[in-house]
Structure 1
């Protein structure tokens, strides 16, 4: 029997365990079925795969009231309670007597079947909005700045909708030529309408809707998954990084604090940044974090304080790097990376690439040629440093890859074959780039010397290939399949794939990162779900 341990490498703080057998309705033992253990109080879900004779065991669990459910072969068990007392094992056999929940087609957030993200909203007809007071105001005012599809994908509390509306009006007042504000009375109607129809309490898809309908075999059955739901449903964990001790740190798009999740204790805390020269505006937040040298994490502050921050995860102290007044325009974007040479930190920033020399504290910015030539925002997105020190980035709005030579400031651009929507990338052990093409669902290798692109197709169609990281020790590539709720492993030598499902539907897993303290563990963060977690591959 395989013992599946939630923390198989370092010592855990808990000694609880649950074991049992998964059987079909006829009593047949089922290896290769999912087993979920849900701890509502701690907002945790543990998912393992049954092994030989249908047996499963999960160790190192915190005590408390759990719900257990088995899923496999198109069937599932009724959720059953399990009371786990500290230090005492519990037994929970499950029988898959009910049909598995309805299939949820792969797709962008709240829109199953549509794989592309918001960058292609312009190609779609307007969504059908719910009837009611406020609909006409939404249709008249909101398209001034964005397409209505973005609004319909949100699931926020009333409090966060109120903040969002205030934030939008602040932006309008900053640039009155861009849009016309709405009245205070219209604002009240808008708030009621949005909070009613696009609330965090809106019914969700079946949580098992994207789990496999067939029993898992081989390497696909040798992993565990841990999922944590934020206590604040509006948090929006867009990105995360992992410190040398294996603790995850995430930025929150709707909270002015860095989030910390410790997998040893399953505790969640928040660390606000130090006060800046200006009071933070509505919905100010930290930008995507990036692991730097030693115990450091880098991030930009998104808001009134134009600064980058270096955070020491050991001393819990911040160091501020103010952006000089002479550097106008965006100073942050969707990805930040610390150069392995230890000298620079880089970020995408919409129409340009921005860097910071750590030693001199000097910022540099390089405009992207396609922006200079057309004045169309290329929306520079993912970014990483190649083996030769050049900085590569994805231009998702214009379907190009860019390459910056930091020594000269020269940027070369390389078109992708079509409407591919390149997202995020990682550098492998040979210094080459690997990129997720989101729209076409391809994993793409780019030779950093010749810019030649080689394409690989994941087993799952319409998977929403998103972010890539390379494991130099095992020489494998990891890919987020964002619209399929999976994380995939690809072996370039054998060109073989293994896919691992996440415990919930619409996890919206975007950024992934290898755990430096545990080479078998891959972390992920979900923006619109406000969940984060990891999968851990079990050695043979």
Structure 2
């Protein structure tokens, strides 16, 4: 089933807690033309009339639900180009300064003078990112904190305004049960966490926090990007776990909560909604097959779905090997464009297996993975959970690599061998999530629980690990590597996307336009643009809707604006850093499990 909608979004003053308002604005609709050559220019200054660098300035096209954001230069100037000839709402944002909103700015305005002022009181506190809010929650030791991160932050940020809405202890207990979908939270943490959550986040508790100290403004490369964001789907319904760039030029995003595939035309702003077929629930991961069709893992129903955008038809298949009629929890999928068979590879987070399905015969093959104690460095910090999670192919030799989120492993499958000749390794950090293999064959892995990311060399079996800034409060969900070998890491806990150059070991952080931008996937287009989508509970998000986001860059990149990271190396004979063996888990709640 297909539907098309065009939305018009308005907004209230930034000081209001409710900032999302759906509207019908005939004036805006009539004033917009389809020219993409217009610009808006101006200068941002502080209360002393001095220029401010690194301020994000967003031009909001309400008809197309499109935000185009740039950053001010050292002289405070900004230019937003590529705009349609219509009226825009304009917002300025920099942590530490109050947001400024202009209700109607005409395209081709070239003399804006925007004066800002320091943010104070509640407006400053509302700028605090989730990693800082999470740091306010006390734990008895680092093991308990790491365990809580692993079990209770896999679908939303902890400590945000939306997170703090429960009122009574029973409400917090209900939320905790939902968060602990794996059932792996330490028993002693379960006994004490509700009072501590309430003491930290309920009611006036936030007023007792130390005053938020904003980070420095972005400069150099961190301020050179143009960030374009399209708000997706309806108010309080948009949670877009993954996205894919279709060969028809549209961007496809899966709404995991409502079982929808939404195709975005970035030129017209038109969003076309396709309802997944009956019996296929929980769209999770989506990729383009070698024939151009789109395949989706349906995690809640154990199915694989193929979508042909030419015929707009779906086909549904079991994700399990015959004679089973459904899989447990098909999770992430990847497809090697150099594979002559075009096999679709995917993990099953509810089993200890990876699978492939043939795109034309639809024959499914199961690869049974290793058990506890069988991995290199096994037994050191392993949990009893398994959870096959991320997966990718090596562009060097075609090997298939996967991660086990709770089993704390990465592994390799040789597709040329019938049983896969499977081998697994235990990384020196906690929570290997959505990994990717670089053009040189190095396997890059995010450490969700440890707030790190690392490189594994399949030849030497050595690890090189980098901590993100404020690692103990970060939750990097996924990463990807572009054609030039640059590693891009989701700043899932602080509304950023991070660029890491393995040669210079420099990390550059790109701030996203809205708060509570929980990201789980990164893609690239042929022009080198970086794409992501936002997910999690829409009611937690600043605008109340999920979004598709594109990050673009000038031809010449500044060399400053980053942070030098320090590598730590491990030879494979290591304990898993800062870990404790998790207690035996109960069977996962399947209704909640689909959120991961």
- 1:427 maps to which residue? 437
Matches within 5 A, 1:280-299: 280=279, 284-299=281-296
Q: CA deviation at 1:237?
A: 0.4
For residues 93 and 77 of structure 1, do their structure 2 counterparts lie closer, same or farther at Cα, with a shift above 3 Å needed? farther
TM superposition shift of 1:32: 2.6
The equivalent of 2:47 in structure 1 is: 25
> Given the alignment, which residue of 263, 267, 271 partners 2:266?
263
Alignment of 1:312 with 2:320, yes or no, is no
Provide the C-alpha distance between the structure 2 equivalents of 1:132 and 1:243, rounded to a whole number of angstroms: 46
Alignment of 1:63-74 (within 5 A): 66-72=88-94, 74=96
Shift of 1:34: 1.7
Change (3 A) 1:13 1:318: farther
Secondary structure, aligned partner of 2:67: strand
Q: How many residues align?
A: 456
Whether 2:240 is the aligned partner of 1:243: answer no
Tell me the secondary structure at the aligned position of residue 440 of structure 1.
coil
* Alignment pair present for 1:226 and 2:228: yes
Q: How far is 1:138 from its partner?
A: 4.5
Q: Deviations over 1:480-535 (max 9, x none)?
A: 1111211111111221221111111210011111123x213333343334222121
2:78 aligned partner: 56
- The answer on 1:370 being equivalent to 2:378 is no
C-alpha distance in structure 2 between counterparts of 1:375 and 1:441, whole Å: 18
Task: Tell whether the 8 Å contact from 1:66 to 1:83 is kept in structure 2 after alignment.
Answer: yes
TM-score by length of 2: 0.67
Q: Retained in 1: the 8 A contact 2:387–2:406?
A: yes
Q: Contact 1:335–1:348 at 8 Å: present in 2 too?
A: yes
Counterpart of 1:481 in structure 2 is: 491
1:37 alignment partner, SS class: strand
Q: Return the alpha-carbon distance in structure 2 between the equivalents of residues 263 and 221 of structure 1.
A: 23
Q: 1:534 aligns with which of 547, 550, 570?
A: 550
Aligned-pair CA distance for 1:131: 5.0
Given candidates 87, 100, 116, the residue that maps to 1:96 is 116
State the match for 1:196 in structure 2.
none
Gaps of 5+ in 2: 1-33, 138-144, 154-162, 186-205, 375-381, 557-596
CA distance in 2, matches of 1:452, 1:77: 46
Cα shift at 1:247: 2.6
Q: Is the 8 A contact 2:478 2:490 kept in 1?
A: yes
1:136 Cα offset (Å): 10
Q: Secondary structure at the match of 1:519?
A: coil
**Equivalent position SS for 2:371:** helix
Distance of 1:296 and 1:70 partners within structure 2: 40
Contact 1:488–1:498 (8 Å) recurs in 2: yes
Aligned to 2:298: 301
> Once structures 1 and 2 are overlaid, which stretch shifts more, 432-441 or 88-97?
88-97
2-side partners of 1:468 and 1:221: how far apart? 21
Corresponding residue to 2:459 among 449, 460, 479:
449
2-side partners of 1:354 and 1:219: how far apart? 40
Residue 435 of structure 1 and its aligned partner are, at CA, apart by 1.0
Match of residue 337 from structure 1: 334
Higher deviation after alignment, 421-430 or 64-73: 64-73
Q: Secondary structure at the match of 2:439?
A: coil
1:401 matched to which residue of 2? 410
Matched, 1:215 2:217: yes
**1:221-253 deviation digits (Å, cap 9, x = unpaired):** 110112233232223101111124553211111
Distance in structure 2 (CA, Å) of the matches to 1:521 and 1:424: 17
In 2, the alpha carbon distance for the partners of 1:495 and 1:93 equals 38
Name the residue aligned to 1:379: 387
Q: Which among 514, 518, 522 is matched to residue 531 of structure 2?
A: 522
2:29 aligned residue: none
Deviation at 1:437, TM superposition (A): 0.8
> CA, structure 1 residues 226+526, in 2 after alignment: closer, same or farther (shift >3 Å)?
farther
Cα displacement (A) at 1:328: 5.6
Richer in strand (by share) = 1
| Cα pair 1:142 1:148 within 8 Å, conserved | no
